[in-house]
Amino acid sequence: MQAIWKGSVSFGLVTIPVKVYAATQEKDVAFRQVHAADGGRIRYRRFCEVDGEEVAYSDIAKGYELPDGEMAVLTAEDMADLPLPTRHVVEVLEFVPAEEIDPIYVSRSYYLQADGPAAKPYVLLRDALRRTGQTALVKVALRNREALAMLRPKGDVLVLQTMLWPDEVRDASFAAPASEVEVRPQEVAMAESYIQTLETSFDPDRYHDEYRAALEVVLEAKATGHEVEAPATAAPAKGEVVDLMAALQASVDEARRQRGESAGGGAGRTAGSAAKAAKPAKSTKKAPAKKTAAKKTATKKATAKKTTTKKAAKKPAAKTAKTPARKSA
């Protein structure tokens, strides 16, 4: 694999020579533009509008139109000589917690390889970032463009991920739902139950590009002259979902079925319990009244007992004396 950049990481007074390699590659089925009638290739040619001559790609430069209409031409040499301090140095600006960086800022990822005798400071920075849970915010100039980036450990290597500048991320307020939309607690509880049903650990090997696989099947069939069998597809949903609770319960049951579990089992009970817990208690206000009534009843009994005791004290002593004799008998 060929390195796309070579320089060093400036880590305080420590310099780490590194080579940068692209960490990702997009895989897709490559198509060519052809004439539909006979399959002939479509070619594009580049012509200069001044002299009408065809221009080779190697003779094309970058041009910037000035306000007066003149064109400022920048050659490859001009671009290479841009006065950027980060042209050959990854400059560490500061360290921030990894979870504070919104993934929307991430653009491209690159692997950093220690160059020459830089293995020890490379490992030092990698392990220090891992132990502290911090991410290094850096500046670097890649492909003739300075970018903000973050430097973080991934396994045994350091990964450089270029980021968008703040003014390159569009404001999202236009996409927010209207503030008057209300969701019932029972619906939230059921949605949480569905999330819990599909909760698992991330394993990228479980996912595959089915679109690319389907294209390869079609191309193979075209090459061999076979017909392609169309797979059975689910019928599209009609209209709006009116009963959110029913739709969410059906989603939970379907998710459990796909995982080999019985539908309407634990997940349904969990959702029902959560939804029940989310409902306000109806008898909360009546409780004090019952307590008061019980207290009054107890007071009446205590009063009646006291009255009976007083009456018993006023009776003749003879009758009182008979009581122990009867008990002895």
pLDDT for 325: 44
pLDDT for 240: 57
pLDDT for 254: 82
How does pLDDT run across 70-87, given as a tens digit for each residue?
899 988 777 766 666 556
pLDDT for 78: 76
How does pLDDT run across 12-51, given as a tens digit for each residue?
788 889 999 999 888 888 888 999 999 899 988 899 988 9
Which amino acid belongs to residue 96? V
| pLDDT < 50 stretches in the chain | 266-271, 274-275, 277-329
Q: What is the model's pTM?
A: 0.62
pLDDT for 85: 58
pLDDT for 277: 46
Place of tokens 């950093």: 112
pLDDT for 231: 67
How does pLDDT run across 117-136, given as a tens digit for each residue?
889 999 999 999 999 999 99
pLDDT for 168: 92
Q: At the topology level of CATH, where does 5-26+70-168 sit?
A: Ku70; Chain: A; Domain 2 (2.40.290)
pLDDT for 138: 94
CATH 2.40.290.10 occupies which residues in the chain? 5-26+70-168
pLDDT for 101: 92
